[in-house]
Amino acid sequence: MKANTVWLVLFVAFTFSSLCTAQTQEEEGGGENRQWFSVDSINAGLGEAPEEVSRVTPREAIRSFINLTGQEEYEAAAHVLNLAEFSEQEQREQGAEFARQMAEVLKRGKWLNVSDLPGRADAMIVDASGQTPRAGEVRRSVELASLSTRGETYAIRLGRYRVGEEEPVWLIMPVSVTYIPLLYERFGPSMLEEYIPERFQGSFGLLKIWEWIAIPVFLLLNVFVGWLVYRFIGLLAKWLPSGGISIFADQIGVPMALVVVSLVTQTLLDYVVSFSAVATMTFRVVLISILAWGIGTIALRLVDTLMLGMTRRLVGSIDDTDSKDDRKLLTTLYALRRIIILITVSGVTVYILGQIQLFESLGMSLLASASVLAVLVGVAGQAVLGNIVSSFQLSLAKPIRIGDLVIFEGEWCYVEGIFYTFIRLRVWDDRRLIVPVTYFVTRPFDNMSVKGTKMYRSLTLTLHLSADIEVLREKFLEVAKEEDDIIEHHKLLCYVTEQSGTAQTVTCYLMTTDPMSGWTAEMHVREKLLAFIRDYHPDWWPREVVVISHQDIARGVKTKDKRSGEAPSDEAPGEKS
């Protein structure tokens, strides 16, 4: 048993050492193989490459290909393609056509900047700052372009090939060459171009001559289509019955026209006309921006229309007398509106950056300077970002809702709107108070509607010491019960709460349906009590008291002495008449 175990250990150790040795030998002997692909021949059917074909670096290879195809020397340009997937006869017969089709694909499908391609023969990633993780890495293939058609993405790549001891050269890889017919079908010239005279096919600057003429006409056609859609939506808004639908239709004329124009333009670019890559890419970036903005705006108008409908259904203006569920729904709609804006802006920004491939060309640089950008954004956008975060906090936690009555810095206000960076408050006198969100959430405020709209209020009267409280209490109960906005009559109270040498303070307590109605009810009760005192008990008004007689009202009016039944004498004690 022990012998078997020993043999098993030795076998495992021998196998492991053999694998390690083989791997080491592969790494030592295969270093050059990782710099190029070794092949037996390159494009044998095409013969020797002309001197004007330079293929030492990726940059020289593509620049040479573009220059040769621009001069319609397609047979020479075919030497930049690796036609290993085809027989020698097919290489001779189809090489030039493949070069022509590839040139058209690159012109229309990808706006190439040859200077961005590696200028070294080994395509080493050079980064003097040392921030790129792959700096110093030698490559034998690089990506030239990535194009999409029929829902699939195809990569056009350059590879470095070497035959025997000859100098390595850079060629478009065989698998990419096989994609050329499919990509040409998508990005090749349109049928319209067959009718364009030869003299307009030449290039002028970045575009061809015919494109300088066709693009303005193309834009005018799309403007006309957009105008027709706008007019149709305007007429539709007038035909529809008045209400939320007609308001919504009236507000989406412009965004709907832009959405239709974007879709029509995209269809024309796909099936009718095909411009050069610089024009096509510009069009597509603008179109997707317009499409996303239009759809986002329509969604916002829909939310705004719903909010307007709710506001009208809640009798014109939102306040704390409305249902808590309605006010909560309005608050949620405001939050939804902000989310739609945020998603739309973020989506459009990311898509546009992706289309112009900023992430590929500047990705590493952005990552390297992420700390600097974070500091700049944190300093420059602190107030804006803080307000945005605070607005979402209010929408989620809901310490206030649309229509809540709050007392903020001494002002009675209704919450009228919660936006990204500010809150709009409607003051009781119909003024609008605009408060930054961060300022609002960092200040204490009274939410009079957080639990319910009922409010216990009080009013005070300062009266003479001789005022009869029982009479006043009965009058208060009578007056209070006549007010519709005063509820829970068992909580009506009237007491003397303070007294001085010359007056007494009477406080009356009442329960009201809501704060603003309660304020009005309090004013009515006060006015009626003051009118009652003025008309029937003017002697209750407070005044300075000077005792000049035993019959002064401050001591109470007595017609007869309680002990003798006779009127008290005006003589001073001990004084005789």
Mean per-residue pLDDT for 111-128? 80
Could you tell me which of 488, 563, 476 has the C-alpha nearest to residue 528? Answer: 476
Residue 444 has pLDDT above 80, yes or no: yes
Q: Given pLDDT bands bounded at 50, 70 and 90, which one contains residue 240?
A: confident
Give the pLDDT of residue 203.
66
Give the pLDDT of residue 529.
93
Q: Given pLDDT bands bounded at 50, 70 and 90, which one contains residue 18?
A: very low
CA distances from residue 364 to 53, 111, 335, 350, 370 in whole angstroms, order as listed: 33, 21, 36, 17, 10
Give the pLDDT of residue 247.
81
Specify whether the CB–CB gap between 251 and 301 falls below 8 A.
Answer: yes
pLDDT tens per residue across span 322-367: 555 666 666 676 677 667 667 766 766 675 566 554 444 444 444 4
CA separation for the pair 217, 215 (Å, rounded):
5
Residue 263 has pLDDT above 60, yes or no: yes
Specify whether the CB–CB gap between 138 and 124 falls below 8 A.
Answer: yes
Specify whether the CB–CB gap between 551 and 545 falls below 8 A.
Answer: no
Give the pLDDT of residue 480.
92
Tokens of 572: 């001073």
Mean per-residue pLDDT for 372-400? 61
pLDDT tens per residue across span 276-298: 767 777 787 788 778 878 887 88
Tokens of 92: 């001779």
Q: Given pLDDT bands bounded at 50, 70 and 90, which one contains residue 308?
A: low
Mean pLDDT of the chain: 76
Mean per-residue pLDDT for 255-270? 86
Give the pLDDT of residue 358.
45
Q: Is 62 left (phi over 0), alpha (psi -120 to 50) or beta?
A: alpha
Specify whether the CB–CB gap between 489 and 480 falls below 8 A.
Answer: yes
Specify whether the CB–CB gap between 45 and 87 falls below 8 A.
Answer: yes
Between strands 152-163 and 37-39, the pairing is: parallel
Mean per-residue pLDDT for 553-570? 47
Mean per-residue pLDDT for 243-269? 85
Q: Given pLDDT bands bounded at 50, 70 and 90, which one contains residue 319?
A: low
pLDDT tens per residue across span 479-490: 999 998 888 888
- 573 vs 305: which has the higher pLDDT: 305
Give the pLDDT of residue 31.
45
Residue 151 has pLDDT above 90, yes or no: no
Residue 502 has pLDDT above 80, yes or no: yes
Residue 96 has pLDDT above 80, yes or no: yes
Q: Which residue has the tokens 């919450």?
A: 415
- For the chain, what percent of residues have pLDDT higher than 70? 67
CA separation for the pair 413, 486 (Å, rounded):
22
Give the pLDDT of residue 78.
92
Q: Given pLDDT bands bounded at 50, 70 and 90, which one contains residue 562?
A: very low
Instruction: Return the bridge partners of 161, or none.
Output: 37, 169
Give the pLDDT of residue 186.
81
The SS3 call for residue 456 is strand
Global pTM?
Answer: 0.50
- 388 vs 35: which has the higher pLDDT: 35
The SS3 call for residue 356 is coil
